[in-house]
Amino acid sequence: MANNTVFYGKGIGCEGEVVGELCFNTSIFGYQEILTDPSYANQIITFTFPHIGNTGTNNHDIESKKPAAKGLVIREDITHQSNFRATNHFNNWLKENKLIGICGVDTRQITHLLREKGSINAAIVHKKNGVFNLKNISKKRSKWNGIKGCDLAQYVTREKKVYWNQTTWIKMKKYGKNKKKKFHIIAIDYGAKNNILRNLASLGCKITVVPSKTSAKNIFQKMPDGIFLSNGPGDPAATGKFSVPLIKEILKKNIPTFGICLGHQMLALALGAKTKKMHLGHRGANHPVLETNTGKVIITVQNHGFEVIENSLPKNARVSYKSLFDGSVEGIELKDKPVFSVQYHPEASPGPHDHLLLFKKFYKLIEKNA
């Protein structure tokens, strides 16, 4: 790690070595969705829940084509899967997806260290022979530049546009298919989770997903009724260099717009606000958020290491949600345009569904604006 602390354990997944930003996630389930969430690009995830892998893996609980995370750290060794939906052992899945991990280490100690020091650079090395060159590993870790200043959306965005028809899960069966297409929503992909797109498709709209660097001209030619700014990894200021000019053009058109996670940060930057890297970030499925105009508390899913600076927001932007952990901005909406965003993940996967209603709010704005 960054302070040269070394933890010895048992290697899991594929052999090799990897360097990334070490963080922790407090979710007690959903490890497959977490590891395939594009927002975790270049990160090594420490799972605070000790039993990871005991429900195996399947072909449904994935949020992108392949894992974006660099690696994982877990407390207990992976047991045999025990779940009726499991089709593969977790360790086999890790190997197939070229993920490197370690188990048998004190994840509580690592979590305490991260809370004290903040997110830090770390390396995982997995070798069958157990021979490690610590000096060489430490050098590679110290040379790694980290996430600040990095546009990681370019590595996880789709290469070309796609039409998304898959809707949310039909209990005990399969994902549905969207047949109604009353309105047209364009989703700008900075690393969009599949379940966000499923929830958008479940609104009964045509969903066109476009690469992150799609031009404003190209988007407007498609005649969108609404625009969605997706989640994604990396430093929003770096991604904003090409994304902010596009979003400014969208705001001029008065098209209903909804942003989640990185999309929320991109919107804030386009409004003239600023973002900063957090000491630790928010990652888990049990984060309380305050709805500022009602006083209601919502339990949310979160995964971000950057935040919008509240006092940098313009006067026409209202803070709609705030974290009850540290008071950071969790949502904004414009007073003069049909535009809003949230820092947290209302689509869950994994986590509570307390705020799926935001997708309906987006639909109502589109309907009203049509």
Query: Whole-angstrom Cα distance, residue 271 to residue 276?
Result: 15
Q: What is the mean pLDDT of residues 56-83?
A: 94
Instruction: Return the CATH number of 10-143, one of 3.50.50.60, 3.30.2290.10, 3.50.30.20, 3.40.640.10.
Output: 3.50.30.20
155 falls in which pLDDT band (50, 70, 90)? very high
Active-site annotation holds for 345: yes
**38 and 15 Cβ atoms separated by less than 8 Å:** no
Q: Does the pLDDT value for residue 3 go beyond 70?
A: no
Active-site annotation holds for 261: yes
Classified by CATH at the fold level, domain 153-369 comes out as: Rossmann fold (3.40.50)
Long-range CB pairs of 243-246, under 8 A, 24+ apart, other chains included: 243/153, 243/188, 243/190, 243/212, 243/269, 243/270, 244/269, 244/270, 245/216, 246/188, 246/214, 246/215, 246/216, 246/219
pLDDT in tens, 24-33: 999 998 999 9
Q: Kindly list the domain boundaries of the chain, sorted by start residue.
A: 10-143, 153-369
Q: Does the pLDDT value for residue 2 go beyond 70?
A: no
Can you spell out the DSSP letters for 72-94? EE-SSPPPPP--TT--B-HHHHH
Q: Which of 23, 261, 282, 355 is catalytic?
A: 261
Q: Which of 103, 304, 347, 355 is catalytic?
A: 347
Q: What is the mean pLDDT of residues 160-177?
A: 88
